[in-house]
Structure formats: structure tokens, C-alpha cells
């Protein structure tokens, strides 16, 4: 499913059984039909670790416009 945006796309995967959230941020967009391969920025957040949660917060905050 597409949100109609061709840039700054996020993918968020929550794994509750291991208390983890994986974030992928595609600044140039994510499009299977595109010939350009954009590498995502990634961040793995462990929900039982305060430092990891803080890192995830700044990962998101620094990429929002």
C-alpha cells in the first residue's frame, strides 16, 4: 500500500515478544518500480533499555521535517 509520498518514507516493525522496534527510514523514498536503490537509515530500539529508547527518539526527531 502506498501513501502517495515519494520521499521520506518510514517502515516500523514492532516485535513485542522480544521488546524491540526496528525503524527504517528511506529519505529518497521506497519504490519497487524505481531503478534507484536507496539504502535506508536503520535503528533498532530495545524497549527495556533506556539508552536505546533515547537513541530511537533522536533517530526519529532528527529526520522529521
Would you say residue 14 has pLDDT above 70? yes
Exposed/middle/buried for residue 45 (C-beta within 10 Å: 0-12, 13-18, 19+)? buried
Place 5 in a pLDDT band, splitting at 50, 70 and 90: low
| Mean of all residue pLDDT scores within the chain | 85
- Does the pLDDT value for residue 56 go beyond 60? yes
Instruction: Say what the pTM is.
Output: 0.76
The DSSP output letter for 8 is S
Amino acid at each position: 500500500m502506498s501513501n502517495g509520498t515519494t520521499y521520506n518514507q518510514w517502515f516500523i516493525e514492532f516485535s513485542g515478544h522480544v521488546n524491540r522496534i526496528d525503524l527504517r527510514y528511506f529519505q529518497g523514498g521506497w519504490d519497487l518500480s524505481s531503478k534507484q536503490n536507496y539504502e535506508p537509515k536503520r535503528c533498532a530500539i530495545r524497549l527495556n533499555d533506556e539508552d536505546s529508547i533515547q537513541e530511537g527518539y533522536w533517530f526519529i526527531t532528527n529526520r522529521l521535517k
